[in-house]
Amino acid sequence: METVSENKCFGGVQGVYKHSSAATGGEMTFGLFLPEEAEETPVPLLWYLSGLTCTHENAMVKAGAQAWAAEQGIALAFPDTSPRGPGVADDDAYDLGQGAGFYVNATQTPWAPHFRMWDYVADELPKLITRNFAVDEERQSITGHSMGGHGALTLAMGLPGRFRSVSAFAPICHPTAGDWGRKQLSAYLGADETTWARHDATLMLREVGLEIPLLVDQGSDDQFIDLLMPEALAEAVAKRRVPATLRLQKGYDHSYFFVSTFIEDHIAFHAEALYA
């Protein structure tokens, strides 16, 4: 593992690191914020999964999360959204290929050799971080924005017992039924739609429910709201009777201005679960 940078930040350290990934077959970069408490003892960890076109850097720089994480004594992990590099398959469209991994393990050509973001985020990167940094592998939660919100929800339900809580900002809620999902899932996983269901938060919630606290924020003026389909997730929450807080925030769009406005609430929400 190579240290790209480390900067003092709210009493802690914001680092950026590179490493060779067996899951994606290439070099991956991630950000990790460690609060001051990590100098003395392992601290809880909150994963932040970013959305389409993003790298590890977007939320790390724009969300303003470090100040609130430092206040709560929580580490923040910022993975990349896909494998990258000249040997990695890509597409001219912004919503497929590099920057658009959708947190799945691709099975189809040309994506299968590198696009294994489920394994990377669920297994490889957590092991790397807990082995090399002072974070508590038993106290972890997950959040994300847009495509990353989709990933946070599906990972939380697909890995029962892994996380203490889950939240999302404007998540892609029902990808098997919308243009932000059907295109990517068919490309990465093939035409058999039965393989898509475990990567659809609405379908998973209907099928398996959720045993940990859930918070979702959605902007009412989000320019992509019809693609995100928040009403499908709300219907599944009600039908399954899952305890959840689903908030429609008047006037907010899909940007990091929206995320940064409510990130304090989300970190406090996760801190309550992580320190319970």
pLDDT tens-place string over residues 103-113 = 999 999 999 99
Average pLDDT over residues 101-125: 98
Q: Which whole number is the average pLDDT over 109-120?
A: 98
Q: Give the C-alpha separation, 156 to 178, whole Å.
A: 21
DSSP letter for 272, please.
Answer: H
Mean pLDDT, range 43-66, rounded to an integer: 98
Confidence of residue 27 (pLDDT cuts 50, 70, 90): very high
List the catalytic residues.
146, 222, 254
Instruction: Please give the average per-residue pLDDT across 142-149, as a whole number.
Output: 98
pLDDT at 137: 94
188-206: average pLDDT: 97
Residue 16 has what pLDDT?
A: 98
Q: Name the domain count of the chain.
A: 1
> Whole-number mean pLDDT of the chain?
97
What pLDDT sits at residue 70? Answer: 98
Angle at 71 between CA 68 and CA 76, to 5 degrees: 55
Per the listing, tokens 């001051």 go with 36
Per-residue model confidence (pLDDT) at position 9: 98
Q: Which two tokens stand for residue 13?
A: 């350290």
Taking residues 174-189, report their average pLDDT: 97
Range of the domain at 113: 2-275
Using pLDDT thresholds of 50, 70 and 90, give the confidence band for residue 201: very high
| Torsion on CA atoms 226, 262, 80, 272, rounded to nearest 10 | -120
Gap between the Cα atoms of 241 and 40, Å rounded: 41
Q: pTM, whole model, 2 decimals?
A: 0.97
From 181, 268, 196, 192, select the one nearest 229 (Cα to Cα).
181
Residues 44-65 have a mean pLDDT of 98
Q: pLDDT exceeding 90 applies to what percent of the chain? A: 100
**pLDDT value, residue 61:** 98
| 75-94 pLDDT per residue, tens | 999 999 999 999 999 999 99
Residue 203: pLDDT band (50, 70, 90) is very high
| Helix or strand run (H / E) with residue 126 | helix 125-132
Q: How much of the chain exceeds pLDDT 70, in percent? A: 100
What are the structure tokens assigned to 264, written together? 């304090």
Average pLDDT over residues 37-56: 98
Of the candidates 133, 152, 134, which has an alpha carbon nearest to the alpha carbon of residue 270? Answer: 152
Q: Which CATH number is 105's domain given?
A: 3.40.50.1820
pLDDT of residue 208: 93
Q: Given phi > 0 = left and psi -120 to 50 = alpha, else beta, which region is 85? A: left
Pairing of strands 75-79, 26-34: antiparallel
Q: What is the pLDDT of residue 232?
A: 98
pLDDT in tens, 223-237: 999 999 999 999 999
